[in-house]
């Protein structure tokens, strides 16, 4: 389920990028960076809600299983044990990727603003932060690190190719964020 929901989010972002790139605006005009900002924070809230659901399901499973697991939940132990159990098994990976995503988001937003918005489109920091955050699942074992290496590797190859063509324009990363994320997600699913 986690794989498919992440893949759907990545594909929706890619489709939204294409729609806005082609000038096909929805009936109500909202800038794409507003959608991406909302999608990033909704994804964070969704992961937190999923963590709470897993914690509650674990509590119910241990409570209803009888001895010896009944001794892991209240009144025999604190409820903090159940939350801590799932925090170390599930939430910790997303917490690390959330820190990396917010660092990228802050750094790219402020750096881009400082240099007159020359490096990124307005929605790109949110797209990158969303990809890093969602690739932080325990299922993919810190795939966001591989994602960043692959992203910058592909960008470097494209940039070198662009330099050899003697083009004076800058190579944008706009169309690399989501396709590289999809490649890492699908590759990670089939490799691991």
Exposed / middle / buried, residue 115 (Cβ in 10 Å: 0-12, 13-18, 19+): exposed
Instruction: Express as a percent the part of the chain with pLDDT over 90.
Output: 54
Parent domain of 8: 2-191
Q: How many domains in the chain?
A: 1
Residues 39-68: tens digit of each pLDDT: 999 999 999 999 999 999 999 999 999 889
Angstrom distance (rounded) from CA 62 to CA 192: 29
183 pLDDT band, cuts 50/70/90, is very high
């Amino acid at each position: 389920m986690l794989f498919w929901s992440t893949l759907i989010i990545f594909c929706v972002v890619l489709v939204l990028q294409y729609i806005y790139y082609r000038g096909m605006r929805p009936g109500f005009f909202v800038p794409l960076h507003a959608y991406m900002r909302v999608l990033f924070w909704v994804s964070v809230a969704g992961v937190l809600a999923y963590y709470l659901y897993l914690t509650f399901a674990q509590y119910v499973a241990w409570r209803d299983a009888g001895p010896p697991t009944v001794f892991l939940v209240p009144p025999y132990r604190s409820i903090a044990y159940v939350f801590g159990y799932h925090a170390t098994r599930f939430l910790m990976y997303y917490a690390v990727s959330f820190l990396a995503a917010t660092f990228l988001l802050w750094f790219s937003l402020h750096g881009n603003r400082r240099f007159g918005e020359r490096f990124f489109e307005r929605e790109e920091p949110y797209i990158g932060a969303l990809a890093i955050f969602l690739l932080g699942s325990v299922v993919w074992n810190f795939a966001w690190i591989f994602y960043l290496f692959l992203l910058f590797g592909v960008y470097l190859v494209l940039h070198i190719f662009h330099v050899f063509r003697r083009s004076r324009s800058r190579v944008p990363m706009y169309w690399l964020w989501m396709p590289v994320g999809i490649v890492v997600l699908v590759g990670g699913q089939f490799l691991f």
